[in-house]
Structure 1
Amino acid sequence: MNQFSAEGMKDAGPVSGLAGVRQAVEQAADVYGVYIGLDVHKETIAVAVAECGRGAPEYYGEIPNTPKKVARLLERLSARYGGERLLWVYEAGPCGYGLYRQILTTGHDCEVVAPSLIPQKAGERRKTDRRDALGLARLSRAGELTAVWVPTPEQEAIRDLTRAREDMKKLELKARQTLGAFLLRHGKVYPGKSRWTQAHFRWLETVTFDSPVQQIVLQEYIEAVRVAQRQVAGLEQQMREALPHWSLAPVAEGLMAMRGIGLISAMTILAELGDISRFDSPRQLMAYLGLVPSEHSSGSSRRQGGITRTGNGHVRRVLVEAAWNYRFPARKTREIERRAEKASVKVQGIAWEAQKRLCGRYQHLMRAGKLKQQVTTAVGRELAGFIWAIACEVMGRDHGSRATA
């Protein structure tokens, strides 16, 4: 059920039983009179309209994907259904949220829906823009679509910054692997312990080849690593400069009081999730991040598998990486104390409780014979709960009663 259907149920009043559910659904359905499905592509938008009721959706047509043509479409449908509230829906995708923001500025309501959660018929083998638009309109009217959280322009800018840093880090890793493979192929092995340090780069300067061509290849590979490192360092500096001016800076500083979460991790988590306190409980956040076990149960049989891996993979990766830091005994290091100085006393208390709990949890699971990957995933799942508690504390929202919900 979408967000507006849920709100309709909340406002349904003190009703119970099947009659109460029916009344809530009817009230939720009365929120909008017309549901408009948009199948959005780079150059075109297919439009379908479903009026409130049980009638078949109508295919309106296809328009160019330009702000001018979209504005014209808004005017025409607004005039056509002058006395009705219109809900526009389209799938989240590479075209971004520009269409969503344009629709909102005109006073209409719009939802961006999760493509992976759109119901599909098992035997359906035909897919066209027309069918997709009609399906979105019909499912929106039925309340079967799940709306995603849409970031603000400020939030999206920070998200682009953190993702750019992540992309550059991947390029740096690839450049390092390429250089390392080239050296190993020719028997050039670094005798030291730690690579990519200043001592390692000094050793690279002493590596020579008999062939001038191979020497050029070596220098190009080294330069590729240096360029990637400069790009990563530049983006990290931009993150440090952007943090003080960000509306979620207090939450980021609170998260940095935790072990394993520095500036990069804190900004990545908040850039992807936004206001974490919008989740009703830590369990809801864990499920959103795909950190809960999958399940296939039928009758008396109950089978659980690995984590679902749904939701935001960027945050899930950061949490699992942070979980590795809890393999050591609980301890307030100088670095953790320095990062925690900007957080309140309550937030520091939550962070310390998290460290004691998660360090003990890590050792307990290891003694139980669990694989390290499973242990870090379990610790990362619980870490998400403490992150939720800190976000609620900083945002001034109650988290004591909801934590057990």
Structure 2
Amino acid sequence: MRSGELESIHVPSEEDEAVRDYLRSRDSLRLDLGRNRQRLMKFLLRKGITYSATKYWTVSHNKWLNNLQFNNEILQETFNDYYSRVRVQEENLKAMDKRIQEIAESEPYREKVGILRCFRGVDYLTAMFLLCEVCDFKRFKTAGSFMSFLGLVPGEYSSGSKREQTGITKTGSPRLRRILTEAAWQHRFPGTGSKIVTARRSGQPALVVALAEKASLRLHKKFRNLQQRGKTPQVMITAVSRELSGFLWAAMNLVA
């Protein structure tokens, strides 16, 4: 322990653990909804029924699904069963998202959620996942140690004088890496002048707002530079996710 080779663990509070379980339940529902949507569309495809537009699960797509009729009674019942599962899960997901927002706007999460939402790509759900999975950002002494916790740093293979870097370690929570990846995608485009982000930053500490604006400019520039160098989308998004996590760590350490 004195040499620093042992890593400390953090035991979440009872409330953090309860909210974390709720968030994970929501994530499981999201996956189940995706699977049931696929089952429905595969069923329709087997019957030679296709949707003419390119975007699925929009208002117009749902209207199209509502109007589908089968001549065979059993096929109609099968379709109704597939579609009703999707609609029920969609409503459940909306209800859970609403509840998560209510939790995020209450104590003890309100202040920290407000800080995280200053960053592009980070809204209530992402902020709550970060807070309840990480719990205490201050237990990480450096941004690098936080990135390592997330599994976003390259691994290393060493043998004698030979040293070779591998892909990212992927240690830690896959959920956190996924939500950071989703947040990082927002930085493909310039973020200046966004009314939504400006509204989120209203009333937040000036230092945090300045850091979030710096992150927005820097991460978009990084995306563009990596793209010009011919990097693959996976390499680009991993690099931007890693750097975004460093900015989020810095913002949370600005809080007293």
TM-score range, shorter chain: over 0.9
SS for the counterpart of 1:245 is: coil
Quote the offset at 1:329 in angstroms. 2.0
Q: Equivalent of 2:249, from 381, 384, 388?
A: 388
| 1:182 partnered with 2:43 | yes
1:194 is displaced (CA, Å) by 2.1
Q: Partner of 2:105: helix, strand, or coil?
A: helix
Alpha-carbon offset, residue 248 of structure 1: 3.2
SS at the partner of 2:10? coil
Q: TM-score, normalised by structure 1?
A: 0.61
Letter in 2 for 1:380: S
Q: Give runs of aligned pairs for residues 119-134 of structure 1, distance below 5 A.
A: none
Q: Which amino acid aligns with 2:9?
A: V
Matched, 1:325 2:186: yes
Mapped to 1, the partners of 2:196 and 2:151 lie a distance apart of 30
Percent of residue pairs identical = 35
Query: Which has the larger share of strand?
Result: 1
Aligned equivalents of 1:170, 1:322: Cα separation in 2: 18
Q: What is the rounded CA distance, in whole Å, between the counterparts of 1:362 and 1:145 in structure 2? A: 35
1:272 aligns with 2:129: no
CA distance in 2, matches of 1:178, 1:357: 41
8 Å contact from structure 2 (residues 117, 201) kept in 1 = yes
Measure how far apart 1:335 and its partner are.
1.1
Listed as ranges, the gaps of 5+ residues in structure 1 are 11-143, 397-405
In 2, Cα distance between equivalents of 1:249 and 1:297: 45
Match of 1:253 in 2: 114
Match of 2:218 in 1: 357
Task: Tell me the SS of whatever aligns to 2:156.
Answer: strand
Greater helix percent: which structure? 2
CA-to-aligned-CA distance 1:91-110 (integer Å, 9 cap, x gap): xxxxxxxxxxxxxxxxxxxx
Tell me which stretches of 4 or more aligned residues in structure 1 moved more than 2 Å.
144-148
In structure 2, the partner of 1:208 is 69
Q: RMSD of the TM alignment (CA)?
A: 1.6
Partner residue, 2:206: 345
Query: Aligned-pair distance for 1:148?
Result: 2.4
**Distance apart, 1:325 and its partner CA:** 0.9
2:93 aligns with: 232
- Higher normalized contact order (CA 8 Å, seq sep 6+, divided by chain length): 2
**Cα deviation 1:26-70 (Å, max 9, x = unaligned):** xxxxxxxxxxxxxxxxxxxxxxxxxxxxxxxxxxxxxxxxxxxxx
Deviates more, 1:247-256 or 1:278-287: 247-256
Partner of 1:167: 28
CA distance in 1, matches of 2:196, 2:124: 12
Q: Which residue of 2 aligns with 1:301?
A: 162
Contact 1:254 1:342 (8 Å CA) reproduced? no
Q: 1:220 aligns with which of 54, 66, 81?
A: 81
2:238 corresponds to which residue? Answer: 377
Task: Count residues in correspondence.
Answer: 256
**In 1: Cα distance, 2:80 partner to 2:147 partner:** 46
Partners of 2:193 and 2:12 lie apart in 1 by 35
Tell me by how many angstroms 1:145 deviates. 6.4
Q: For residue 300 of structure 1, what is the amino acid of its counterpart?
A: S
Residue 241 of structure 1 is aligned with which of 102, 115, 119? Answer: 102
Q: Which amino acid aligns with 1:354?
A: A
* Whole-angstrom CA distance in 2 between matches of 1:217 and 1:339: 45
